[in-house]
Each structure stands twice: as C-alpha cells, then as structure tokens.
Amino acid sequence: MDTYGLIGYPLGHSFSQSFFTDKFENEGIDAEYKNFEISSIDLLPDIIAANPTLRGLNVTIPYKEKVIPFLDEVSKEARAIGAVNVIRVERRGNTRQLIGYNSDVIGFTESIEPLLKPTHKKAMILGTGGASKAVNYALRKLGLETVYVSRYQRPGTVTYKDINAAALREYPVIVNGTPVGMYPRSMECPQLPYEHMDANNLLFDLIYNPDRTLFMQRGEAQGATVKNGLEMLLLQALASWNFWQQ
C-alpha cells in the first residue's frame, strides 16, 4: 500500500486527509493518507525514513518555504514562487529523491479567474508567506499588478494602516493569505476599512474553515463579491495527485 500525507503545524484545520481518504476509497486506490504534525521542519527526514512506502507529501503552514533546502529538486515554477506545497518521493533501490512542486498556484488561478472583471487590474495580497507568494505569482500571470500587505514595515510592502478608501478603489481585488479568521478564531478578520468597499471589490479568502469568514461577511455586506478557499483546496489537491503520479 502506498502512503501519502501532509506535513505542517498545527494540522487540526486540515481537510486534506478526509479528501484523499475518500478519493482512495471511491476510486479503489490501494493507498492511505496520514497527517504528520511536526513541530520543526528538521523532523522531515525522520518522517521520510520511518515511512518506506511514502510516495508523496503535501506541505502546509508554516513549512512551504522552509522545506525547500531539504529537497533534491524543485520545479521551475515552485522555484520562481519561492514556496513548495507538494513533494514527490521517488525511490530507486537504496536511493531516494525529493522533488518539490507548487499546486497552490494551479488551484488559486482556476478558482479566481472566473470572478475577475475588466476593472480588476490591481490586487492586494494580505500576508507574505508561502501561500501569498503563490497567489502573487498567479495574479501576475493573469495580468494584475500586485502589492503585499504586512503588519510590519518591509521593503516592497504596505501596512494595514496604509489602506484607505482610495487604496480599495485602486486595488479592488483583495486576497487573504493569512490565517486570521481561521477556526477556532473565526470572529477575527484582517484590519481593513470595510466600510469603503463596494460592488467592484473582490474578496478571496484562502481560508475554508469556516466557510464564510468574517473577512468575507464584512465585504459582502458592502456589496463585494466574495469566495473562500475550498474550491482552491480541491483543485490544488487534484493537482498534487497529478504531480505524485508523474
């Protein structure tokens, strides 16, 4: 039986195990999917060594960037993004190779593209982690200008304090790539001037638990189009499977 799994910390929020378990059962695939909750990325080699049937891993918060030095090869796209969320484990005799990919960019692109309007020329990306990097890569490939929003002053970013009514008009697309608002802290949301949003704004939350975050609710109350990350999750999971089967 082949083994697949997820590394990250914590993993209480993840739907990946149930998704792949259902897929394997429904399609008669002789495989299992395990959660590997590790407190440090330095434990990855132990996971690989202890699971000789392991053929692939998904990678989630906070290891999408930290995992790269542990890999033998990284796809051109994942290298350009600067983040990996899929690892294919290739074993030939006593040799083993770990190859990194990024399926977030595939899932996000296919999920947001139908919602984009001709007026959506610029986007704000909340957060600067691995998922946000995939979002940035995807949006730029779709022709949008982007800017990162951070809690801290950093080169090439703006802070939440910089966002006003004019910024929301200039950057009508807003993608939340942070964990703010994720269960169980679902009564939190990014600090934005929601009262200045309107029907031209598009709010995309990578969070999928809860299915309607406070970020989405507050934008929707102003007439904005909103979407959560569930479809993105499903699309990137299917892309992960394709990477593993190459």
- What is the Cα Rg of the chain in Å? 19
pLDDT tens readout for residues 216-239: 999 999 999 999 999 999 999 999
- Beta-carbon contacts of residue 141 (< 8 Å; ≥ 6 apart): 105, 109
| 0.85 exceeded by pTM | yes
Residue 214 has, within 13 A of its CA and on its CB side, a CA count of 14
Select which of 34, 64, 76, 161 is catalytic.
Answer: 64
pLDDT tens readout for residues 126-181: 999 999 999 999 999 999 999 999 998 888 899 999 999 999 999 999 999 999 99
**Distance from C-alpha of 90 to C-alpha of 132, rounded to nearest angstrom:** 28
**Distance from C-alpha of 193 to C-alpha of 202, rounded to nearest angstrom:** 14
23 catalytically annotated: no
Per 3-state DSSP, what percentage of the chain is helix, strand, and coil (rounded to 5)? 35, 25, 40
**Distance from C-alpha of 64 to C-alpha of 41, rounded to nearest angstrom:** 10
Burial class of residue 155, CB neighbours in 10 A (0-12, 13-18, 19+) = exposed
